[in-house]
């Protein structure tokens, strides 16, 4: 096992091991201290969708294709298509449709801020209304921009909001790391039932500091994941991440109870996205 050394102020942390100091005493792994970080009140990166047409190219790119995206999803993600992603009446509208494109029976969109909105610590607020119907799987989530610790799940994932249509109005927040992920059944997360998640807009939020990732739905804390100080296997959240907004169809989770073909077009609406910088201490 390799030891990764990190000097923070006067402490020396080791990833997954302890070591003798020059004085002969044993240095013990210590998690970081919670400094009760706060956040700026004015967003440093903001998308209010106060225009009409395609999502702003200065802020959004697209993941494109029908590979299944590691989850056996059924949709083909299109690029810059108003049929699948458009802005109108102050909202981003992501639409999943039943139509044949690229060998898939459905189309949808997956928008990303990579290279246009990359964040390290801070608060992200997204106000959204979720689609209804069995087989829908909308998500507001984050992936590493640089993948410095390696491929998924080594470099981490933060799921600010996920919802599967066969379990209406139960909304989930979760994290994935090398040590904690669904492929080995160790994922960590929290959930909340929001009775109007599919009919009204609600706030989905992450507060991300060096100490913890905390998830909030309508400002109610639903999940806390604390940095144990043992290195990237449990805490890869010390690198840049970017935001993704998408609406999948089917897949290992979203399609676990099949897909209702009568629900399409299915619509995922986003009112705004706001990122607030953490105030360092």
Which residues of 117-219 form beta strands (DSSP E)?
A: 118-119, 122-129, 136-144, 157-162, 170-176, 188-193, 202-208, 212-217
- Which of 99, 162, 220, 269 is catalytic? The answer is 162
For 176, residues 6+ apart whose C-beta sits below 8 A from its C-beta are: 152, 153, 156, 157, 159, 182, 187
Of 139, 70, 142, nearest in space to 109 by CA:
139
Spatial separation of the C-alpha atoms in residues 206 and 208, rounded to whole Å: 6
Of 47, 133, 145, 135, nearest in space to 91 by CA:
47
User: What are the structure tokens assigned to 71, written together?
Assistant: 């989850």
Q: How many CB atoms lie within 10 A of CB 238?
A: 16
Strands 75-77 and 104-108: parallel
SS3 of residue 76 by DSSP: strand
User: What are the structure tokens assigned to 202, written together?
Assistant: 């609600």
Contact assessment for residue 214 and residue 221, using Cβ atoms and an 8 Å cutoff: yes
Residue 157 annotated in active site: yes
- Which of 73, 105, 157, 269 is catalytic? The answer is 157
Active site residues: 157, 162
């Amino acid at each position: 096992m390799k030891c990764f050394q990190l000097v923070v102020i006067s402490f020396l942390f080791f990833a997954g091991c302890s070591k003798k100091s020059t004085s002969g005493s044993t240095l013990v792994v210590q998690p970081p201290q919670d400094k009760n970080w706060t956040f700026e009140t004015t967003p440093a990166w903001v998308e209010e969708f106060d225009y009409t047409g395609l999502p702003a190219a200065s802020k959004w790119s697209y993941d494109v294709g029908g590979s299944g995206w590691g989850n056996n999803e059924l949709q083909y993600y299109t690029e810059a298509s108003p049929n699948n992603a458009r802005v109108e009446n102050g909202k981003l509208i992501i639409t999943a449709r039943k139509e044949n494109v690229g060998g898939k029976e459905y189309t949808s969109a997956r928008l990303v801020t990579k290279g246009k909105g990359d964040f390290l610590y801070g608060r992200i607020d997204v106000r959204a209304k979720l689609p209804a119907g069995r087989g829908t799987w909308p998500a507001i989530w984050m992936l590493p921009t640089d993948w410095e610790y390696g491929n998924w799940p080594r470099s981490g994932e933060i799921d600010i909001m996920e919802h599967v249509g066969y379990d209406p109005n139960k909304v989930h927040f979760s994290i994935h790391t090398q040590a904690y992920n669904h492929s080995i059944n160790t994922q960590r997360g929290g959930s909340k039932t929001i009775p109007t998640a599919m009919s009204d807009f609600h706030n989905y939020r992450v507060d991300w500091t060096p100490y913890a990732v905390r998830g909030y739905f309508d400002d109610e804390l639903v999940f806390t994941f604390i940095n144990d100080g043992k290195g990237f296997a449990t805490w890869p959240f010390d690198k840049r991440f970017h935001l993704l907004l998408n609406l999948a169809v089917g897949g290992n989770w979203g399609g676990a109870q099949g897909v209702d073909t009568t629900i399409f077009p299915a619509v995922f609406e986003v009112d705004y996205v706001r990122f607030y910088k953490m105030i360092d201490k």
